[in-house]
Amino acid sequence: MKSNVKNAEGKLGVLVVGLGAVTTTFMTGVLMARKGLAKPVGAMTQYDKVRVGKGADKKYLKYDEIVPMAKLDDIVFGAWDVYPENAFESAMNCQVLKEKDILPVKDELEKIVPMKAAFDKNFAKRLEGNNVKDCKDRWDMTEQLREDIRNFKKENGVDRIVVLWAASTEVYVPVNEKIHYTLADLEAAMKANDVENIAPSMCYAYAALAEGAPFIMGAPNTTVDIPAMWEMAEKTKLPIAGKDFKTGQTLVKSGFAPIIGTRCLGLAGWFSTNILGNRDGLVLDEPANFRTKEVSKLSTLESILVPEEQPDLYTDYYHKVRINYYPPRNDNKEGWDNIDIFGWMGYPMQIKIDFLCRDSILAAPLCLDLVLLSDLAARAGRWGTQRFLSFFLKSPMHDYTKGEVPVNHLFQQYAILKNAIREMGGYEADQEID
C-alpha cells in the first residue's frame, strides 16, 4: 500500500508551554531513549502494532511501518515558562526522576532555557514566576509568541513545529457566543484586550496556528475547544487536538466503565477522589481552576453509561469528582474510586479502585504520541479537530454546536485511532465503531 502522507524530512521542533514535571519528564525520557539509556514505555507510537489487511494478507505493523513518522532523533525541544530555570534545573527540582536518570542528558537539558511566558496571574493565581512577557494587550501577547516561534524555527534549523500545552489548568472560561464563535470576534476581543474571555492559552493556540504549527491542549482549558479556533484551524489548514491528557483516574474510568456497560450492570454512583502535591495540584487547589478540571473529568462517564439508552441501568446515578492538594505526595498521585453498582434483581455490589500512579510518568508518553501524531496529521493534510487523538485525551473535543457527543469509551477510541493510521497509510478502515 502507498501512504498518502508527506515524508517527515528534517527536524521537528517541539515547543512546550510549561517546563514543569510533565514536560521535563517527557524531554528527559526522549533524550535518554535516543542514547539507548531508557525505554519509551507507554508510547503507542513506539510500541503499538496495527493489523492491516485480512486473511492471507493480514499483518501487524508498527505505526512507522504504515506511515512516515518523525523519529526521536529528529526532535528539537523548546519551551516557555513563568519560572526561569532551565530544563535540567527544573527536572531536578520536580523530583519525578532519579538523578541517575537525568545526569546522562544534563548537557542537552541545560540548553533548553525557557522563553518568557505569556501569562496572566488572574488565570493561575497560585503561580509566582517572574519569567513573564510584558504585553500591552492580548493581541500584543499573541504577536510576541508568534515572534518566539519564528525565532525558534530559525535559530534551531527546524523544518516543522508542533506546540503543546503542558502548563497549569487555567480558571474556567465559559464559552461566550459573542466572542468565541467566530474568528473575527475572537480577534476583535484580543485587540480590545478582553482579559475575561481571552485566556493566555488562546494566545498560544492562535500564535501556533498563525505560524503553521499544529496545537495540542493538554489541560482542560477552554482554548481550541471553541468554534473561532476551529475556523482558524480550517483557515490555516492545521490540526488541533484537545483537551486534557488522559493519564490516571480518567484512563481507568474510560476503560472500566465499558465493563459495566457491556455486561449490562446498573450504576448507582461513582465517587472519584485524587490527592497530588505537584504544581498542578497547587494550582487546582484554587476553586476557579478546579472548576475547569471538574468539567473535564465529569464528562467522561456520561457518554459511556447513557441514561437514555438504558433507563433501567443508568438513570439518576451520582457522579462526583474531587481533587485534593497534598504536598507530601508531590507527583505521585493517588486516584481512588468507589463504584456502587447493582445486578440481578437490583442487588447492590461495590467496586473499589486505588490507582497509585505517577502523573508525569503516565503523561510523558502521551506528550510524545500527541506531538508525533499531530505532526503526522499535518503532513497528511488533515486539519481541524483530530478526533482520532481522543484516545489520549480526557475530554475529547467535539462540535457541541451541532449536538455531537464525544466518544469517551476507551476501546472505541482505540478503534478510531487505528483506523486513522490505516487510512493515512493507504489501507482501508476496517473496524466498525458501534
Residue 252 pLDDT greater than 70, yes or no: yes
| Cell numbers for 9 | 524530512
List, for residues 396-428, the tens digit of each pLDDT value: 999 999 999 999 999 999 999 999 999 999 999
pTM over 0.75: yes
Instruction: Tell me: pLDDT of 65 over 70.
Output: yes
CA pseudo-torsion sign 150, 156, 159, 164: negative
pLDDT, tens digit, 9 for 90 and up, residues 301-312: 988 999 999 999
Tens digits of per-residue pLDDT, 376-393?
Answer: 999 999 999 999 999 999
Of 157-171, 319-333, 344-358, the poorest mean pLDDT is in 319-333
Quote the CA–CA distance of 407 and 412 in Å, as a whole number: 7
Class of domain 249-358: alpha beta
Whole-number pLDDT of residue 2: 67
Alpha helix segments (H runs only) across 56-128: 63-66, 87-94, 106-110
User: Residue 178 is inside which H or E element, if any?
Assistant: helix 177-180
* CATH topology for the 12-245+361-424 domain: Rossmann fold (3.40.50)
Question: Looking at the chain, which residues constitute the CATH 3.30.360.10 domain(s)?
Answer: 249-358
Geometric angle at alpha carbon 91, from 85 and 92, rounded to 5°: 90
DSSP one-letter code for 405:
P
Helix (H, G, I), strand (E, B) or coil at 48: coil
In the block, residue with C-alpha cell 455486561: 263
Cβ neighbours of 373 (radius 10 Å): 31
Which residues of the chain form CATH 3.40.50.720? 12-245+361-424
Average pLDDT of the residues of the chain: 94
Distance between CA 189 and CA 127 in Å, rounded?
A: 25
Alpha helices, H only, 263-303: 279-284, 287-302
pLDDT band at 258 (very low <50, low <70, confident <90, very high): very high
DSSP code, position 4: -
At 325, is the secondary structure helix, strand, or coil?
strand
If one compares 215 and 248, the residue with the highest pLDDT of the two is: 215
Phi, psi of 318 (to 5 degrees): -100, 125
Dump pLDDT digits (tens) for 137-152: 999 999 999 999 999 9
**H or E element in which residue 226 lies:** none
The tally of CA atoms less than 13 A away on the side-chain side of residue 110 is 5
